[in-house]
Every structure is written in C-alpha cells, then in structure tokens.
Amino acid sequence: MLIDYRNKALTQRYQLMAQTIIPRPIAWVVTENDGVVNVAPFSYFMGLSSEPATMVISVGHKSDGSEKDTLRNLRESKKCTICMVDGKLLEKMHFSSKELDASLSEADVFNIPLTRPYENFPPMVEGTPSAFFCEYYQEFELKGSKTIPLVVEIKQQYIDDSCVSDSETMHISYDAVARVGKSYAMMSEEIKPPKIP
C-alpha cells in the first residue's frame, strides 16, 4: 500500500503517523502561570541534540482552536519541567490528558502529587523516574500547521536513584510508558544489541 499524504485529511495523516511512528515516549510537560500548575501529557516529543542539550515538543491547540496552556505558559515563563512516565503513573497521566480550563490545575483535579527540587523551575511530578528542567530555546513555524514545534534546552535533570543500576556507567532503566498507535505500551524489556563484527 502506497499512501499519498496530499490526498489525506489532517486527522487521517495524524492516525497514520501516530500508529506507525512507534513507540513514542510519553512525558508530562509541567508549566506555571499565575500560580496555576499545568501538567499536560505529550507523546509528540523527543530528544533533539546533546549539544546544546535540547528536546522538541510539538504542541497543538485546544479543541476550540485556542492555544494550549503549555504553549502559552512556556512562551511567557520560558521554563518547563518534563517528567517521564512509568507504569505506576500511567493512570494519572491518562486522566490528565482531559482538557481543562486554564484556571484549573491537573495536579489538583487528578490528585497528582508534585515536588519542587529547584525553586526557579516548575515542580516535577512526585514519583517520576526522571525529570528534565528546561528553558525555552526557540520555536518553529510549520507553514499551514497549527502545531508548534518548541525546542527546550535541558539545564538540570533528576533521576530516581532506584533507576540507576550502575552509577559509574550511568546505566538507567525504568518501566517507561510509550504511545503505540492508540494504545500504551510498557517498555520494560531490554534487548541487548548484537556485537558488530
């Protein structure tokens, strides 16, 4: 089957991409605005570069066409905390994907505990295996798109000690949650790469 994206509607292209570009890691992007903490899950995000240490988050719009709180907050505060999701956080992450009014915090509505290791960054989700404390770096315009790719620069990182099996080599392992098509998957099985002859 050959598919010409020019002949597909936006929703069809999204479904095709979401079900074949897999797995996609899921993380909460935590931002703040006027004392309200926004905790929004994203699966369209990925590491971009290690120099500068950056990640990209693709932010869409709300169902009414307005800016998502994450986009507005990041543009204003220039800071976010990206929290990885593991199996024990899956249910709360899933619930937090519900669209809420900007005056409400997902942390309050869905009982997501937060902790603040760095005063100058938004809090992180308590129990996350890893969190990245980031600053707004730049954004791109995708002509004809309402999706905004945002690049954030990693300034600090938290890693739960229980996820580090070897502190010398920094071997990190946890029961990561990813988006696979319309479902979630646990990425707990490690497969060692074969030796290259």
pLDDT tens for the chain, residues 1 to 197? 777 888 888 788 877 777 776 677 889 999 999 889 999 999 888 888 888 999 899 998 888 878 889 999 999 999 999 999 998 999 999 999 998 988 999 999 999 999 999 999 999 999 999 899 999 999 988 888 878 999 999 999 998 888 887 767 777 778 888 888 778 888 766 667 777 87
Task: Give me the pLDDT at residue 190, please.
Answer: 64
Residues 147, 58 contacting (CB under 8 angstroms)? yes
Residue type, 126: E
Q: Distance between CA atoms of 105 and 38, rounded to whole angstroms?
A: 5
Supply φ then ψ for residue 40, to 5 degrees.
-120, 130
Tokens representing 180 are 């696979």
Q: Distance between CA atoms of 21 and 83, rounded to whole angstroms?
A: 21
Q: Distance between CA atoms of 89 and 5, rounded to whole angstroms?
A: 35
Residue spans of the domains in the chain: they are: 9-180
Residue type, 138: Q
- Which of 142, 130, 120, 157 shows the shortest CA–CA distance to 28? 130
Tokens representing 66 are 């307005």
> Which CATH number applies to 9-180?
2.30.110.10
The alpha carbon dihedral of 147, 44, 140, 15 has a sign of: negative
Pairing mode of beta strands 130-139, 36-42: unpaired
